[in-house]
Amino acid sequence: MNAQGVVRLAVNGRPIEVPAGTSVAAAVARISPMRFRDSVHGMPRAPLCGMGACFECRVHIDGRAQLRACMTPVREGMQVTTHD
C-alpha cells in the first residue's frame, strides 16, 4: 500500500490498483467480472454470495489454488489468476 492508500496487484498478469481493504473479488471483477473460474464442465463461474459460502469465486493467489476471492483482502504485489 502506498501513501495514498492504494494497493497494486496483478490479475492474470494485468496490473491493477485498488483501494486498500478491497477484496480480491472486487479487484478481479474489474478485469474479469463474469469469469472467476470454470466449472468442471467448462461453464464460467463468478461470485454469487460474496460471503464465503458458495465457493464460486475461487482463484489462484500467489500460486495457491482454490482460494475464495471474496474472503481474501488484497495485498501489495499479489498475483491473482482466474479460470484454470
> Hey, what amino acid is at 48?
L
DSSP letter, residue 47: -
Q: Which is nearer to another protein, 58 or 69 (CB)?
A: 58
Q: Which is nearer to another protein, 5 or 44 (CB)?
A: 44
- CB proximity list for 80: less than 8 A, separation 6 or greater: 9, 10, 11, 12, 24, 27, 28, 59, 60, 61, 69
Q: Give min distance, CB of 51 to another protein, in A.
A: 17
Interface with another protein (CB under 8 A): 40, 58, 64-66
Q: Give min distance, CB of 11 to another protein, in A.
A: 21
Q: Give min distance, CB of 65 to another protein, in A.
A: 5
